[in-house]
Amino acid sequence: MLSSSYVGRFAPSPSGPLHFGSLVCALTSFLDARVHNGTWLVRIEDIDPPREDPKHIKTILNQLERHGLHWDKNVIYQSERQTQYQLALDGLSTRKLIFACECSRARLRQSGGVYDGRCRERQISFSDSAIRLKVPQTYLYDRVKIFDRIFGEYCQHLASDTGDFVLKRRDGLFSYQFASVVDDQFQGVTHIVRGGDLLESAPRQVYLQNCLGYKNLDYAHIPLVKNKHGQKLSKQNQSKPAQVNRASSNLWAALAWLNQKPPQSIYGAPVTDILSWAKSNWRLQHIREKVKQMGS
Ligand code: GLU
């Protein structure tokens, strides 16, 4: 029975099938929601068509189901939510919190990825331009701190770490930062559990939540699974898809990787048995211990 106010979500982009690293994230987010008697949602982040292929959506949903990671409520698709993003953007525009930017890629590269505010006060037309959110330029006012349940305290100075960041790209596509914040609010998400590569996005998202008048969320970022060359597993470097006919052993391996210490005796057990062991024995603390060991 779903009884708590906890709402978690898994939000894959359809740039490829789930690999072991994304399965670890899905499983962690699922178990954290289930042990809190929470709701667990799936959102397909299909807002960047050049980097995606719709054929992966069916594969991802099938992979989740075959691994026993059943979601509550209907899946939502970011490709269908453009009107809502535009409305949220218009709200920020009325409050003069955004501006149009016509800086070229070459110019942005020169500034090392931290936007220097060049177009802030220029009156550039919003059509065919990138749209950026103004971040405070005064030291300390630009400081955003989060308390991550796995990594602990994490802080950024937005002015020097990111600068004014993009909400809508010049090609008309909304940015991941913006769409995910609008959707987390829309879906009533309270807890975010996802890959550690997104920890550095959290302060920007918290700042956006504040600008939009949304509630701040609870964060837990999972250390990244790496391949033998020390690279993050990713769809881009052709990491192998998690095979559905190996669901039970994939789950066992994911639990072992998460330092949950699954016993050998459940290796190869039916998916439902593995998940029910995992729910009864789930300890986020064990992931924190893994992070400490990795750091030492
Ligand atoms: N769509 C992102 C990804 O596939 C995850 C976004 C999130 O969890 O905030 O990496």
Candidate of 9, 22, 44, 45 to mutate for ligand 1, largest count of ligand atoms within 8 Å of Cβ = 45
Gap between the Cα atoms of 209 and 205, Å rounded:
6
> Is the shortest distance between the CB of 180 and ligand 1 below 6 Å?
yes
> Is the shortest distance between the CB of 48 and ligand 1 below 6 Å?
no
pLDDT band at 48 (very low <50, low <70, confident <90, very high): very high
Gap between the Cα atoms of 156 and 158, Å rounded:
6
pLDDT digits (tens, 9 = 90+) for 15-32: 999 999 999 999 999 999
Residue-level pLDDT at 125: 86
Residue-level pLDDT at 112: 82
Task: Name the more confident of 293 and 213.
Answer: 213
Domain-by-domain residue ranges, the chain?
7-79+187-197+216-295
Residue-level pLDDT at 232: 81
Instruction: Using the predicted structure, report yes or no on whether residue 286 has a pLDDT greater than 90.
Output: yes
Nearest to 61 by CA among 113, 111, 22: 22
What's phi and psi for 19, nearest 5 deg? -110, -175
Q: Which of 8-12, 92-96, 118-122 has the lowest mean pLDDT?
A: 118-122
Q: Which CATH architecture has domain 7-79+187-197+216-295?
A: 3-Layer(aba) Sandwich (3.40)
Residue-level pLDDT at 2: 56
Residue-level pLDDT at 1: 55
CB 129 within 8 A of CB 99: no
pTM for the structure as a whole: 0.95
pLDDT digits (tens, 9 = 90+) for 231-266: 888 766 768 999 999 999 999 999 999 999 999 999
* Ligand 1 atom 7, closest CA: 11
Which atom of ligand 1 lies nearest, measured to the CA of 15?
4
What's phi and psi for 205, nearest 5 deg? -70, -35
pLDDT band at 162 (very low <50, low <70, confident <90, very high): very high
> Is the shortest distance between the CB of 45 and ligand 1 below 6 Å?
yes
Q: What's the average model confidence in pLDDT over 93-117?
A: 91
